[in-house]
């Protein structure tokens, strides 16, 4: 059932609060103790004020003088109660704030941990803006009522105490209290139910606005180069306007109910004065008791609002919790096994695919899935280089993802040294295999931090060794601060080729036994790429023993360096062999490689023309003269 329905929002909201109390019972107990202390002292202060008025002020007016002892005693009583109330307020606010922020921090960690546990297929079905909203504003919304919750619990105790005190004072005045307090609660319930769908819609729109903003900022290059600034602005403004209208609707409802919630206690005070005056004339109560009850209704007006605050925020809390729970309850995580691959001497690993089938789950449950790979079987022998070649959409990147276990096959097995990757521990898998992806990701940090990632055993010596192997040591040494140079968000201060070499060095620094390159050198010069691959194939080097290599390749020079080529089409292995053999026997392979080579030649010619054209233009001018 949706979180915004009016019939169940109160019950579900109270269950969310119950979860919070179970998770932080000690802190909640401290906060409630402070709140109860405050509430009981509010009742006590009402009777102290009534006593001061009835026993000190009224007699003093009648006599025309104020006894010093009585005045001192009254001042001491009021001061003592005020000090204790301050202690109660301090305990309540400190406990409530600490509890709220601890819950928010804990659930941000849980949501983030869950993101990392869930497979890429789940992430593909969820927008980045929504995921950001889940970990931020949705977590905040879920635990927003925690701040007033201890106050509200203490207020309930205070109301029970107040009703008991009213009955002990006078039954007629107690009936006034019994009429006002349930009316306040009923009004808050109606308010909560009306607010539920509005808060749910506002919370959903927050995520959508965040998603559009993220897309616009992340795709700024596309937006600007395609001249879509105005259209993106309109798209964002439209959704932001919907969010504005939703929040205005929330504020309008609050504007209607807040005055009513404020007015009821005041009407109660007025009713007490009217009924109390009649009871005083009848001699049923004294001036002291009338003042005490009237003052009690006056000071109860603010604490009773705490119950309204909690109930008012429950719809928002339920909406936020539903969105957070959707992440925490999501299925599809890939549990790791308990086996390890820790040879005494680090040697290249053997990767094998055995009749692997894979398909992506549909975005909606009723839609059919998409099969990407079917009956894929091949081996990357220890110390060898195998190139994956195929047209766009053939499944090459999916094979690379399976090799490093970013996803699991529907059927079949992927093994490292004969062990199913699903049986390996996370640490063993991470230390054995490394992926350098098609699109390099660089953190907004130093060169050193981007390569080490705080992994133990990787010092500057290992960093420079990895940089040399990735042909990146030259440009890093030329940076203003060398390894300490900040590279900017996503490496904006570096070129595409530099980012690729930096991410390659990151993978090499961990000394993997299997290296998976998903078109990871496409942005570097072919000569540099050849030097990198030649260094990776070396039997020994600065990073230890050479790794086995699975490379998604396009360039003929790269393919030619491989010991074996796997040619795939439509998710199936069509042929395998050496580059010359496939070139001679597989027409589809020959056509594809030739097309790649022609495209690369055209790019080189264009680059050469762009470099030479200014010089040629100058020569032509000289000849004309």
- When mean pLDDT is compared over 48-62, 85-99, 292-306, the highest value belongs to 85-99
pLDDT band at 589 (very low <50, low <70, confident <90, very high): confident
Domains detected in the chain: 13-329 (1.20.1560.10), 371-442+511-600 (3.40.50.300)
pLDDT for the residue numbered 603: 59
Average pLDDT, stretch 557-570?
86
Q: What is the pLDDT of residue 611?
A: 44
What tokens does 372 get?
């990407």
Sheet with 370-380: strands ordered across: 370-380, 351-360, 411-416, 419-420
The model's confidence at residue 568, banded by pLDDT at 50, 70 and 90, is very high
CA 439/CA 317 separation, integer angstroms: 38
Range 256-282 average pLDDT: 78
| 326 in Cβ contact with 523 (< 8 Å) | no
User: ∠ CA(173), CA(179), CA(185), 5° rounding?
Assistant: 135
- Strands in 433-436's sheet, in edge-to-edge order, are 433-436, 514-518, 548-552, 385-389, 564-569, 572-577
pLDDT of residue 223: 64
**Between residues 376 and 545, the one the model is more confident about:** 376
Residue 162 confidence (pLDDT) above 50: yes
Q: Residue 260: CB partners within 8 Å, gap ≥ 6?
A: 187
DSSP states of 131-166: HHHIIIIIHHHHTGGGTTHHHHHHHHHHHHHHHHHH
Task: Name the DSSP class of 611.
Answer: H
What is the token pair recorded at 111? 């949501």
Please tell me the predicted confidence (pLDDT) of residue 377.
Answer: 92
Rounded Cα–Cα distance for residues 490 and 441 (Å): 6
* Structure token pair of residue 67: 């006894």
Q: What are 102's two structure tokens?
A: 């601890």
Question: Are 307 and 188 within 8 A, CB to CB?
Answer: yes
CB count, 10 Å around CB of 160? 12
**Most confidently modeled range among 138-147, 243-252, 304-313, 412-421:** 412-421
Categorize the per-residue pLDDT at 542 as very low, low, confident or very high, splitting at 50, 70 and 90: very low
Query: What are the pLDDT digits (tens) for 21-68?
Result: 999 999 999 999 998 888 888 888 777 777 777 666 666 666 666 676
Q: What is the largest CA-CA distance in the chain?
A: 123
What's the pLDDT tens digit per position in 305-338? 677 778 777 777 887 888 888 888 877 667 888 8
For residue 376, is pLDDT > 80?
yes
């Amino acid at each position: 059932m949706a979180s915004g329905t009016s019939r169940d929002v109160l019950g579900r909201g109270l269950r969310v609060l119950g979860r919070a109390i179970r998770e932080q019972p000690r802190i909640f107990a401290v906060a409630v103790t402070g709140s109860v202390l405050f509430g009981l002292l509010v009742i006590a202060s009402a009777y102290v004020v009534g006593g001061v008025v009835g026993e000190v002020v009224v007699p003093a007016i009648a006599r025309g003088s104020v006894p010093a002892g009585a005045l001192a005693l009254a001042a001491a009583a009021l001061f003592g109660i005020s000090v204790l109330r301050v202690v109660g307020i301090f305990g309540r606010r400190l406990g409530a704030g600490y509890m709220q922020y601890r819950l928010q921090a804990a659930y941000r960690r849980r949501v983030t941990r869950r993101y990392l546990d869930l497979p890429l297929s789940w992430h593909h079905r969820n927008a980045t803006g929504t995921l950001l909203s889940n970990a931020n504003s949705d977590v905040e919304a879920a635990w927003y009522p925690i701040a007033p919750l201890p106050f509200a619990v203490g207020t309930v105790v205070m109301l029970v105490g107040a009703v008991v005190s009213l009955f002990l004072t006078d039954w007629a005045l107690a009936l006034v209290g019994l009429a006002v307090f349930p009316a306040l609660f009923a009004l808050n319930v109606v308010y909560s139910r009306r607010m539920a769908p509005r808060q749910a819609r506002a919370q959903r729109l927050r995520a959508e606005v965040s998603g559009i903003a993220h897309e616009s900022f992340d795709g700024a290059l596309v937006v600007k180069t395609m001249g879509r600034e105005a259209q993106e602005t309109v798209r964002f403004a439209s959704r932001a306007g919907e969010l504005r209208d939703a929040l205005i609707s929330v504020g309008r409802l609050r504007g209607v109910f807040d005055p009513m919630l404020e007015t009821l206690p005041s009407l109660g005070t007025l009713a007490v004065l009217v009924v109390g005056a009649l009871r005083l004339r009848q001699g049923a109560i004294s001036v002291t008791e009338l003042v005490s009850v009237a003052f009690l209704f006056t000071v109860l007006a603010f604490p009773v609002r705490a119950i309204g605050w909690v109930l008012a925020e429950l719809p928002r809390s339920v909406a936020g919790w539903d969105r957070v729970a959707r992440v925490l309850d999501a299925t599809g995580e890939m549990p790791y096994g308990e086996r390890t691959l820790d040879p005494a001497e680090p040697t290249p690993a053997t990767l094998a695919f055995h009749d692997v089938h894979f398909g992506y789950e549909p975005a909606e449950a009723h839609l059919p899935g998409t099969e990407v790979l079917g009956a894929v079987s091949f081996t990357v022998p220890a110390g060898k280089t195998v190139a994956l070649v195929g047209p766009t959409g053939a499944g090459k990147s999916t094979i690379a993802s399976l090799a490093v276990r970013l996803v699991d096959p529907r059927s079949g097995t992927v093994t490292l040294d004969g062990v199913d990757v699903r049986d390996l521990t996370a640490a063993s898998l991470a230390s054995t295999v490394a992926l350098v992806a098609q699109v390099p990701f660089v953190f907004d940090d130093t060169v050193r931090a981007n390569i080490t990632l705080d992994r133990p055993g990787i010092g500057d010596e290992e960093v420079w060794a990895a940089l040399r192997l990735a042909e990146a040591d030259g440009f890093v040494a030329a940076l203003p601060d060398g390894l300490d140079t900040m590279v900017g968000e996503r490496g904006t201060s570096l070129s595409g080729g530099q980012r690729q070499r930096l991410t390659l060095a990151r993978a090499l620094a961990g000394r993997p036994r299997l290296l998976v390159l998903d078109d990871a050198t496409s942005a570097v010069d072919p000569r540099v790429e050849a030097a990198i691959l030649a260094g990776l194939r070396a039997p020994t080097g600065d990073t230890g023993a050479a790794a086995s290599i699975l490379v998604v390749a396009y360039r003929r020079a790269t393919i030619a360096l491989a010991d074996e080529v796997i040619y795939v089409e439509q998710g199936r292995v069509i042929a395998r062999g050496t580059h010359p053999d496939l070139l001679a026997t597989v027409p589809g392979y020959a056509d594809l490689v030739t097309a790649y080579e022609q495209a690369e030649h055209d790019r080189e010619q264009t680059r050469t023309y762009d470099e030479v054209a200014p010089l040629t233009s100058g020569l032509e001018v000289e000849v004309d003269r």
